[in-house]
Amino acid sequence: MAIELEHYLILGALLFSIGLYMALAKRNFVGVLMGIEMMFNAVNLTFIAFSRFPRFADMTDAERLSGHVFVIFVITVAAAEAAVALALAMLVYRNRETIDVDRMDLLKW
């Protein structure tokens, strides 16, 4: 049995679902951040899978590399998001002495 595009898409959907559950169910800020990063990696997996298994035979090499280019952009955005989110978590921890998402009420009146 060969590994086809559908297998990668199922794995990507499973990873995205786990990441979504982590992002919504965790109360810890770092756990939420890990869930978001897992969702980014699931999207990267599907981009690479679509790039690796082209559905159309008349695709040029540049069109086949477009999935890789998207992955590089997503990795860049994920790295910037992680840096900003961890900096915010450190600032909130300094002020409130917790990283529990439910106890972060800085913007409430």
Range of the domain at 79: 5-103
Q: Is residue 95 part of a domain?
A: yes
pLDDT of residue 97: 78
pLDDT of residue 76: 92
Q: Is residue 108 part of a domain?
A: no
Q: Is residue 25 part of a domain?
A: yes
| Residue 37, domain CATH | 1.10.287.3510
Q: Is residue 65 part of a domain?
A: yes
Please give the tally of structural domains in the chain: 1
28 φ/ψ angles, rounded to the nearest 5 degrees: -85, 135
Which residue ranges of the chain lie beneath pLDDT 70? 56-57, 104-109
Q: Is residue 44 part of a domain?
A: yes
Cα(90)–Cα(74) distance, integer angstroms: 24
pTM of the model: 0.78
